[in-house]
Amino acid sequence: MEKQLDYDSVSNKLSQHGIVVDGAEVHGILCGMLCGGMSLTDQKWLSALSDTIHQGENFNDATTHLLNTLFNQTCQQLLEPEFALQLMLPDDQAPINDRGEALINWVHGFMLGFGLHQQDLMQCSADVKEALEDFGDIARMEEPMDADEESERALFEVMEYVKISAILCFSELGQSLLDDQQDKPSVH
Protein backbone atom coordinates (compact mmCIF):
# COMPACT_ATOMS: atom_id res chain seq x y z
CA MET A 1 0.00 0.00 0.00
CA GLU A 2 1.63 3.23 -1.08
CA LYS A 3 1.73 5.98 1.46
CA GLN A 4 -0.94 8.57 0.75
CA LEU A 5 0.56 11.56 -0.97
CA ASP A 6 0.34 14.77 0.97
CA TYR A 7 0.23 18.43 0.08
CA ASP A 8 3.84 19.24 0.90
CA SER A 9 5.40 16.31 -0.93
CA VAL A 10 3.30 16.85 -4.05
CA SER A 11 3.83 20.62 -4.09
CA ASN A 12 7.58 20.22 -3.56
CA LYS A 13 7.94 17.62 -6.28
CA LEU A 14 5.93 19.71 -8.73
CA SER A 15 8.03 22.78 -8.09
CA GLN A 16 11.23 20.76 -8.44
CA HIS A 17 10.03 19.92 -11.94
CA GLY A 18 9.24 23.53 -12.74
CA ILE A 19 5.48 23.27 -12.37
CA VAL A 20 4.12 26.34 -10.69
CA VAL A 21 0.88 25.05 -9.18
CA ASP A 22 0.61 23.54 -5.73
CA GLY A 23 -0.65 20.11 -4.79
CA ALA A 24 -4.04 21.54 -3.84
CA GLU A 25 -4.72 22.93 -7.29
CA VAL A 26 -3.60 19.78 -9.09
CA HIS A 27 -5.71 17.63 -6.79
CA GLY A 28 -8.63 20.01 -7.31
CA ILE A 29 -8.31 19.72 -11.09
CA LEU A 30 -8.26 15.91 -10.91
CA CYS A 31 -11.26 15.85 -8.58
CA GLY A 32 -13.07 18.33 -10.79
CA MET A 33 -12.54 16.21 -13.89
CA LEU A 34 -13.70 13.07 -12.11
CA CYS A 35 -16.64 14.78 -10.41
CA GLY A 36 -17.59 16.36 -13.71
CA GLY A 37 -18.04 12.94 -15.25
CA MET A 38 -14.68 11.94 -16.71
CA SER A 39 -14.28 8.19 -16.89
CA LEU A 40 -11.83 6.65 -14.46
CA THR A 41 -10.29 4.73 -17.31
CA ASP A 42 -9.93 7.82 -19.49
CA GLN A 43 -6.26 8.45 -20.05
CA LYS A 44 -6.81 11.91 -21.50
CA TRP A 45 -6.63 13.52 -18.08
CA LEU A 46 -2.85 13.64 -18.25
CA SER A 47 -2.81 15.73 -21.41
CA ALA A 48 -5.61 17.91 -20.03
CA LEU A 49 -3.46 18.47 -16.98
CA SER A 50 -0.42 19.25 -19.08
CA ASP A 51 -2.48 21.84 -20.97
CA THR A 52 -3.70 23.47 -17.81
CA ILE A 53 -0.58 23.45 -15.65
CA HIS A 54 2.38 22.81 -17.95
CA GLN A 55 1.83 24.81 -21.16
CA GLY A 56 0.88 21.62 -22.96
CA GLU A 57 4.35 20.13 -22.58
CA ASN A 58 4.82 16.51 -21.63
CA PHE A 59 5.63 15.82 -18.01
CA ASN A 60 8.88 14.08 -17.21
CA ASP A 61 8.72 10.51 -15.90
CA ALA A 62 8.96 11.46 -12.25
CA THR A 63 6.11 13.95 -12.57
CA THR A 64 4.02 11.52 -14.61
CA HIS A 65 4.52 8.88 -11.94
CA LEU A 66 3.59 11.35 -9.21
CA LEU A 67 0.46 12.46 -11.06
CA ASN A 68 -0.58 8.88 -11.79
CA THR A 69 -0.23 8.00 -8.13
CA LEU A 70 -2.25 11.04 -7.17
CA PHE A 71 -4.90 10.24 -9.77
CA ASN A 72 -5.26 6.67 -8.55
CA GLN A 73 -5.39 7.81 -4.94
CA THR A 74 -8.11 10.32 -5.82
CA CYS A 75 -10.15 7.73 -7.74
CA GLN A 76 -9.89 5.35 -4.84
CA GLN A 77 -11.09 7.95 -2.34
CA LEU A 78 -14.00 8.95 -4.54
CA LEU A 79 -15.09 5.36 -5.02
CA GLU A 80 -14.98 4.53 -1.34
CA PRO A 81 -18.15 5.06 0.59
CA GLU A 82 -18.26 7.26 3.66
CA PHE A 83 -16.68 10.43 2.39
CA ALA A 84 -13.14 9.12 2.10
CA LEU A 85 -12.13 12.05 -0.09
CA GLN A 86 -9.32 14.05 1.49
CA LEU A 87 -8.72 17.49 0.06
CA MET A 88 -5.02 17.89 -0.55
CA LEU A 89 -4.22 20.82 1.73
CA PRO A 90 -1.39 21.76 4.08
CA ASP A 91 -1.68 20.06 7.45
CA ASP A 92 -3.35 21.66 10.44
CA GLN A 93 -0.04 22.94 11.77
CA ALA A 94 0.47 25.19 8.74
CA PRO A 95 -0.46 28.87 9.13
CA ILE A 96 -4.18 29.41 8.62
CA ASN A 97 -3.69 31.67 5.62
CA ASP A 98 -1.56 29.05 3.87
CA ARG A 99 -4.37 26.58 4.37
CA GLY A 100 -6.96 29.10 3.25
CA GLU A 101 -4.99 29.92 0.13
CA ALA A 102 -4.51 26.24 -0.67
CA LEU A 103 -8.26 25.68 -0.27
CA ILE A 104 -8.91 28.50 -2.74
CA ASN A 105 -6.39 26.92 -5.13
CA TRP A 106 -8.13 23.58 -4.71
CA VAL A 107 -11.51 25.11 -5.52
CA HIS A 108 -10.04 26.96 -8.53
CA GLY A 109 -8.61 23.68 -9.74
CA PHE A 110 -11.88 21.85 -9.16
CA MET A 111 -13.86 24.38 -11.18
CA LEU A 112 -11.31 24.21 -13.97
CA GLY A 113 -11.32 20.41 -14.08
CA PHE A 114 -15.08 20.26 -13.73
CA GLY A 115 -15.55 22.69 -16.59
CA LEU A 116 -13.39 20.53 -18.86
CA HIS A 117 -15.87 17.68 -18.48
CA GLN A 118 -19.18 19.22 -17.68
CA GLN A 119 -20.01 21.92 -20.15
CA ASP A 120 -23.72 21.58 -19.78
CA LEU A 121 -24.70 22.77 -16.33
CA MET A 122 -28.33 22.95 -17.34
CA GLN A 123 -28.50 19.20 -16.90
CA CYS A 124 -27.07 19.31 -13.40
CA SER A 125 -29.31 19.26 -10.36
CA ALA A 126 -30.01 22.42 -8.39
CA ASP A 127 -27.72 21.10 -5.66
CA VAL A 128 -24.77 20.80 -8.00
CA LYS A 129 -25.41 24.22 -9.52
CA GLU A 130 -25.59 25.75 -6.08
CA ALA A 131 -22.39 24.03 -4.98
CA LEU A 132 -20.57 25.38 -8.04
CA GLU A 133 -21.88 28.88 -7.40
CA ASP A 134 -20.60 28.62 -3.85
CA PHE A 135 -17.27 27.36 -5.17
CA GLY A 136 -17.14 30.49 -7.32
CA ASP A 137 -17.60 32.60 -4.18
CA ILE A 138 -14.99 30.61 -2.26
CA ALA A 139 -12.52 31.00 -5.14
CA ARG A 140 -12.87 34.77 -4.82
CA MET A 141 -12.23 34.90 -1.09
CA GLU A 142 -9.32 37.19 -0.51
CA GLU A 143 -9.18 38.70 2.89
CA PRO A 144 -6.57 37.16 5.16
CA MET A 145 -7.87 35.31 8.18
CA ASP A 146 -6.88 35.81 11.78
CA ALA A 147 -5.19 32.92 13.48
CA ASP A 148 -7.95 32.49 16.04
CA GLU A 149 -10.41 29.78 16.90
CA GLU A 150 -13.28 31.44 15.11
CA SER A 151 -11.34 31.58 11.84
CA GLU A 152 -10.16 28.01 12.33
CA ARG A 153 -13.75 26.91 12.73
CA ALA A 154 -14.88 28.90 9.72
CA LEU A 155 -12.09 27.46 7.57
CA PHE A 156 -12.87 23.95 8.74
CA GLU A 157 -16.53 24.43 7.85
CA VAL A 158 -15.67 25.68 4.38
CA MET A 159 -13.31 22.73 3.87
CA GLU A 160 -15.99 20.28 4.92
CA TYR A 161 -18.51 21.99 2.68
CA VAL A 162 -16.14 21.84 -0.28
CA LYS A 163 -15.45 18.17 0.34
CA ILE A 164 -19.12 17.24 0.66
CA SER A 165 -20.01 19.31 -2.41
CA ALA A 166 -17.31 17.58 -4.46
CA ILE A 167 -18.66 14.22 -3.34
CA LEU A 168 -22.18 15.39 -4.24
CA CYS A 169 -21.02 16.30 -7.76
CA PHE A 170 -19.29 12.96 -8.04
CA SER A 171 -22.29 10.99 -6.90
CA GLU A 172 -24.50 12.79 -9.39
CA LEU A 173 -22.21 13.05 -12.40
CA GLY A 174 -19.38 10.69 -11.74
CA GLN A 175 -21.23 7.48 -11.12
CA SER A 176 -20.70 6.42 -14.71
CA LEU A 177 -17.21 5.58 -13.51
CA LEU A 178 -18.57 2.59 -11.74
CA ASP A 179 -20.40 1.48 -14.85
CA ASP A 180 -17.33 1.37 -16.99
CA GLN A 181 -15.47 -0.45 -14.30
CA GLN A 182 -17.92 -3.31 -14.36
CA ASP A 183 -17.98 -3.77 -18.10
CA LYS A 184 -14.30 -4.33 -18.62
CA PRO A 185 -12.08 -6.79 -16.81
CA SER A 186 -9.50 -4.78 -14.95
CA VAL A 187 -6.02 -4.78 -16.38
CA HIS A 188 -3.13 -4.92 -13.95
pLDDT in tens, 4-22: 899 999 999 999 999 989 9
Residues 74-79: what's their mean pLDDT?
91
Domain spans in the chain, listed from the N-terminal domain onward: 7-183
Domain 7-183 class in CATH: mainly alpha
In this prediction, residue 71 carries a pLDDT of: 95
In this prediction, residue 40 carries a pLDDT of: 80
Contact 2, 72 (CB under 8 A): no
What is the Cα–Cα distance from 150 to 154, expressed in whole angstroms?
A: 6
pLDDT in tens, 92-122: 999 999 999 999 999 999 999 999 887 677 7
Question: Mind giving me the DSSP string for 33-86?
Answer: HHHTT--TT-TTHHHHHHHHHSTTPPPPHHHHHHHHHHHHHHHHHHHSTTT---
In this prediction, residue 185 carries a pLDDT of: 44
Query: Does residue 150 have a pLDDT over 90?
Result: yes
Spatial neighbors of 71 by CB under 8 A, at least 6 apart, are 30, 45
Q: Which of the residue ranges 12-16, 77-81, 113-117, 180-184 would you say has the lowest mean pLDDT?
A: 180-184
Query: Does residue 186 have a pLDDT over 70?
Result: no
